[in-house]
Amino acid sequence: MPKRSIRDLPVAGRRVLVRVDFNVPIEEGRITDDRRIRSAIPTIRSVLSRGGRAILMSHLGRPEGQGFEADATLRPVAARLAELLGTPVGFPSEDCIDAKAAGAVQAMKDGEVLLLENLRFHKGEKKGDAGFAAKLAALGDAYCNDAFGTCHRTDASMHAVPMAMKPRPAVAGFLLEAELKYLQGAIAGARRPFVAILGGAKVSDKLAAIRNLLEKVDVLVVGGAMAYTLLKAQGVAVGASRVEDAMLGEARSVIELAREKGKRLLLPSDHVCGKALEAGTPTSPVTGAIPEGWMGLDIGPSTSKEFGDAIRAARTVVWNGPMGVFEMPPFDRGTREVARAVVDATAAGATTVAGGGDTAAAVEAFGLAEKLSHVSTGGGASLEMLEGRHFQSLDALDEA
Ligand code: AMP
């Protein structure tokens, strides 16, 4: 069911408690990538421009939950947000639920915004503690979830807080709305042919996604290191490629599942191999069996062509995981070519969604992010969505 949107919430004069995902990388007090802050701006602006008061809350890093820690403070995030919004952002206290924070919230005027300190300075956040949630819940007249990257978790601010606030409204922010529209929507309402592309390091990480997607797609394309476990399970020699031997049984059963369901499972037929996983390693193109001492580090040109043809013919594409060691040229080539095929499919009218930290980073690095229908901000959350998992945090939001 679609969720009620921040767009439809009257906010004038109201305190809107917004759960954002400001878990950004910070090195020596400097934010090295502010995408997560920027992606929450439309929701924040929507509250402020309509005369609402925005109280923002987030976690950052993995503090112990024993109070303030200087290296996990959200203070630099408040400063960056103020620059991006062009308006002051309050940062009242080192404790998100103390009297100082509550007092600052009480003193807010319409159109003002403040950021509470790191929720994870309290153990209650990870534990979903009701007492902690009640204190946060008291700060708002309405709740808004715009933290897609944390939606697969049941931390207090994601679930217990909106539950404690009922019958006050609980809505989805614009970022969450877009993520759900594309990730859930692309899968549930897929136009055919529906092609899923999976890659990355480990088949064990993606097994649940493979099984769920095999129920839905027409074609499943698998590249990256995880393909070598599937190839070995089929009896293909993979040399020194990265293989999870403990997963060979599972790999066989997935291959069998694809056959039973009549789904096309595309695996690499040629490879760009290296001697070691290091820059400057000697490389060799290999078709079929990989000789001893060589490891497959990227898909080869025939595979790129075969994968690309399937992708270009698709009306729906969902992609999670690189096709090779994309961080280390020349092994970025297969991932680049797959990205280009996804861009071509988009231009031809397909709905295309890329998700997962590495895939989003690769697509951004290639300068192609704007040319897909959607690039998901959530790593773990977007993979769990491909697994078809139920998100309890979403149950807490009002239906549209
Ligand atoms: P994941 O986090 O599961 O999406 O995996 C991404 C990582 O898998 C990246 O760091 C890639 O370098 C790595 N990777 C992809 N293909 C291979 C390969 N053929 N051999 C070794 N590592 C790979």
Q: Is 322 in the pocket of ligand 1 (CB under 6 A)?
A: yes
- Say if residue 179's pLDDT is above 90: yes
For the residues 74-93, what does the mean pLDDT come to? 98
For residue 14, the Cα-to-chain-centroid distance in whole angstroms is 30
**Ligand 1 center to residue 215 CA distance, Å?**
25
* Rounded-to-integer distance, Cα 242 and Cα 224, Å: 10
pLDDT above 90 (res 61):
yes
Rounded to the nearest angstrom, the distance between the alpha carbon of 226 and the centre of ligand 1 is 8
Q: How far is the CA of 176 from the centre of ligand 1 (A)?
A: 27
User: Is 380 considered catalytic here?
Assistant: yes
Assess whether pLDDT exceeds 90 at residue 186. Answer: no
**pLDDT on residue 158:** 98
**Diameter over CA atoms, the chain:** 70
Q: Which atom of ligand 1 is nearest to the CA of 324?
A: 16
Q: Are 377 and 148 in contact (CB under 8 A)?
A: yes
Counting atoms of ligand 1 from 1, which one is nearest the CA of 322? 15
> For position 42, what pLDDT does the model report?
98
The two structure tokens encoding residue 292: 């001893």
Q: How far is CA 240 from the centre of its chain?
A: 31
| Rounded distance from Cα 282 to ligand 1 centre (Å) | 19
The answer to whether 126 is a known catalytic residue is no
Determine the atom of ligand 1 nearest the C-alpha atom of 359. Answer: 4
What's the pLDDT tens digit per position in 287-329?
999 999 999 999 999 999 999 999 999 999 999 999 999 999 9
- CB count, 10 Å around CB of 126? 17
d(CA 44, CA 336): 34
In the predicted model, what is the mean pLDDT of residues 332-353? 98
Of 67, 79, 64, 68, the closest CA to residue 26 belongs to 79
Distance from C-alpha of 266 to C-alpha of 261, rounded to nearest angstrom: 14
- The atom of ligand 1 lying closest to the CA of 199 is 4
Percentage of the chain modeled with pLDDT above 70: 100
For residue 73, give both structure tokens: 């403070």
> 139 vs 48, 123, 256, 291, CA distance in Å?
17, 19, 53, 63
Report which of residues 342 and 380 the model is more confident about: 342
Decide whether any atom of ligand 1 lies within 6 Å of the 361 Cβ.
Answer: no
For residue 346, CA distances in Å to 40, 42, 81, 182, 334 come to 25, 24, 32, 13, 18
In contact, 90 and 104? CB cutoff 8 Å: yes
Is 36 considered catalytic here? yes
CA distance 154 to 151: 8
Residue 7's pLDDT band, with cuts at 50, 70 and 90, is: very high
Say what the pLDDT of residue 392 is: 96
324 lines ligand 1 (CB under 6 A): yes
pLDDT of residue 356: 84
Residue carrying the six token digits 């996604």: 209
- pLDDT digits over 103-139, tens only? 999 999 999 999 999 999 999 999 999 999 999 999 9
**Which of 111, 22, 131 minimizes the C-alpha distance to 73?**
22
Q: Work out the pLDDT band at 75, boundaries 50, 70, 90.
A: very high
Atom 11, ligand 1: residue with shortest CA distance: 325
- Domains along the chain with CATH numbers: 6-176 (3.40.50.1260), 189-386 (3.40.50.1260)
Set 51, 61, 65, 380: catalytic member = 380
Q: What is the pLDDT of residue 56?
A: 98
Cα dihedral sign, 88-89-95-99: positive
**Which residue type, as a one-letter code, is found at position 223?**
G
pLDDT at 22: 97
Pocket test for ligand 1, best of 221, 299, 358 (most atoms within 8 A of CB): 358
Least confident of 9-23, 152-166, 226-240, 374-388: 374-388
Residue 193: Cβ-neighbour burial (10 angstroms; 0-12, 13-18, 19+): middle
Buried b (16+ CB within 10 A) or exposed e, 227-246: bbbbbbbeebebbbbbbbee
181 lines ligand 1 (CB under 6 A): no
- Cross-strand partners of 287: 270
The percent of residues above 90 in pLDDT, for the chain, comes to 95
User: Which pair of structure tokens corresponds to residue 346?
Assistant: 């988009």
Question: What does the pLDDT read at residue 287?
Answer: 98
Q: Is 325 in the pocket of ligand 1 (CB under 6 A)?
A: yes
SS3 25: coil
CB atoms within 10 A of CB 80: 19
Clarify whether 202 is annotated catalytic.
Answer: yes
Helices vs strands, H then E, count in the chain: 16, 16
Of these residues, 14, 15, 36, 50, which one is catalytic? 36
Cα–Cα distance measured from residue 312 to residue 309, given in angstroms and rounded to the nearest whole number: 5
* Closest to 267 measured CA to CA, from 244, 299, 237, 235: 299
pLDDT (0 to 100) of residue 378: 86
Whole-angstrom distance, CA of residue 249 vs CA of residue 237: 16
Query: Parallel, antiparallel, or unpaired for β 219-222 and 351-355?
Result: unpaired
Catalytic residue among 357, 371, 388, 389: 357
Pairing of strands 30-31, 194-198: unpaired
User: For position 198, what pLDDT does the model report?
Assistant: 98
Q: Say what the pLDDT of residue 185 is.
A: 87
242 lines ligand 1 (CB under 6 A): yes
Name the pTM for this structure.
0.93
Determine the atom of ligand 1 nearest the C-alpha atom of 298.
19
201 lines ligand 1 (CB under 6 A): yes
